[in-house]
Amino acid sequence: MSKVSYKITDFVRIKDHRIFHGKDQDFKTEKSLGLDQFLKASYKNLEIAYPKFHKMDGLCKLGIIASEVLFKDHFISPDTALVFSNSASSLETDKKHRQAMSGMVSPALFVYTLPNIVLGEISIKHKLQSENVFFMENRFNPQLLGDYAEVLLEAKKTPAVVCGWIDLKNAEYDVFLCLISKEGEIPLSKENLKQLYLFEYE
Amino acid sequence: MSDLRTELKQSIIEQLNLEELELADIDNDEPLFGDGLGLDSIDALELIVMLEKDYGIKLTDPEQGKEIFASIDKMAEYIEANRTK
C-alpha cells in the first residue's frame, strides 16, 4: 500500500461497553448500561471536562471519547487529517429529529443531523485545521481508508491522519479509529487495518 | 428566589443539556451569553423555542432576544409581562 513506510501509530476500539487503547482494555462498564449512561461514564472516567460534550449527539460523543483516548499519548498537529467512515450516517439522530417534528423541533438536535459533524466537534476540541472527509460504506473498508490516508500523507498535506470507522445504529456502536504517521511499529496496510478492526479484544 | 426564576433555571439546564451545572450555579443577574454561562447561538434558538412552547410567547424579532435573554431576571420579567400560558 505504501511507498514511504507509514505506520499505524496507535488505535482505539469502542464496542460492547468497552474501550480499548491499542489491544489493552482502558475502560469498561456494566453491560446493563444504556448508550447514554456508557458515554457519560466514559466521559467521567477520562476526566474530559468539556461541558459542550453533553450537548452532542451519540455519534459525536463517541468521536470525542475515541479521540481523547487516541490522542492522549501523542502530540497532535493542527494539520492532522480526519478520514472517517460508517454505514448508518447520522440515522440515530435523524430518527429523533423526525419524531420531534410532530411537535416543536429542537434546533440543537437538528445541528447533529449530519455524520460529518463529528469531524467538526473533534476539530474544535483539539484545534485541528485540517483536511477531513466522512465516507458512507456498507462495511469497514480498510482499502479505502488506507489509500486515502496514504494519499494525504504523500501529498504532504498532513503529518498524520486519524482514520477509521465510527458507526451508531439502534444504540449499538462500533468504533475503530487509528492514528497513521511515520511513527510506530505496525506497517500501514489493508491487512493490518482489517486485522486490528476484527481483533477479538478481550 | 421566585418560582419562575427557579423554573427557568431548571428548564435551561435540562433543555440546553448543561449537565455540569446546578441551580445555584446560575445567578439571576448573570449574563447567559458571552462571559456568563457561555451559551451559543444554537442555545439562543432553543430558548426561543422554549418561550413559545412553555409560555406561549412567539418572538418575531430576533433582535429582541439580546435583551430578553440577557439574564434570568430579564427573561422572568419579559415572561411575566407577555405570557399567554
Give the closest-approach CA distance of A182 to chain B in angstroms: 39
Nearest CA in chain B to A50: B20
DSSP character at residue B23: G
Chain A residues near residue B14 by CB distance under 8 angstroms: none
| Fold (topology level) of B3-82 | 1.10.1200
- Rounded Cα gap, residues B23 and B4, in angstroms: 13
Its pTM stands at: 0.91
Give yes or no for residue A47 having a pLDDT over 90.
yes
**CA A187 – CA A28 distance, rounded (Å):** 29
Residue corresponding to grid cell 400560558: B85
Mean pLDDT of the A137-158 span: 96
Choose among B17, B45, B46: nearest Cβ to A54: B17
Of B21, B46, B52, the CB nearest to A107: B46
- pLDDT bracket for residue A202 (50, 70, 90): low
The complex's ipTM works out to: 0.78
Q: How many CB pairs under 8 A join A and B?
A: 28
* Per-residue pLDDT at A2 exceeds 60: no
pLDDT at residue A193, rounded to an integer: 97
Give A112's pLDDT tier (boundaries 50, 70, 90). very high
**pLDDT surpassing 70 at residue B78:** yes
Closest chain A residue to B37, measured at CA: A51
Asked if A111 and B42 come within 8 Å (Cβ–Cβ), the reply is yes
Per-residue pLDDT, averaged over B45-57, amounts to 94
Which has more confidence, B32 or A201?
Answer: B32
Checking if the pLDDT of A66 tops 80, the result is yes
CA distance A80 to A59: 20
Name the band, by pLDDT with cuts 50, 70 and 90, for residue A3. low
pLDDT computed for residue A58 by the predictor: 97
Average pLDDT over residues A132-152: 97
Q: What is the 3-state secondary structure of chain A?
A: CCCCCCEEEEEEEEECCEEEECCEEEEECCCCCCHHHHHHHHHHHCCCCCHHHHHCCHHHHHHHHHHHHHHCCCCCCCCCEEEEEECCCCHHHHHHHHHHCCCCCCHHHHCCCCCCHHHHHHHHHHCCCCCEEEEECCCCCHHHHHHHHHHHHHCCCCCCEEEEEEEEECCEEEEEEEEEECCCCEECCHHHHHHHHHCCCC
For chain A, first and last CA: distance in Å? 29
pLDDT of residue B64: 86
| Least confident interval from A102-111, A138-147, A148-157, A171-180 | A102-111
Residue of A nearest to B53 (CA): A104
pLDDT in tens, B31-41: 999 877 888 88
What was the pLDDT predicted at A1?
Answer: 53
Q: Is B42 on the interface with A (CB under 8 A)?
A: yes
Q: How confident is the model at residue B19 (pLDDT cuts 50, 70, 90)?
A: confident
**With an 8 Å Cβ cutoff, are A55 and B17 in contact?**
yes
What pLDDT does A201 receive? Answer: 66
Q: Is B52 on the interface with A (CB under 8 A)?
A: yes
Give the confidence band of B63 by pLDDT, cuts at 50, 70, 90: confident
Q: Which CATH class is domain A7-198?
A: alpha beta
Q: What DSSP character marks residue B70? A: S
Contact with chain A for residue B45, Cβ under 8 A: yes
Q: List chain A domain ranges.
A: 7-198
Contacts of A103 in chain B (CB under 8 A): 53
Rounded to 10 degrees, the C-alpha dihedral A177/A128/A111/B50 comes to 120
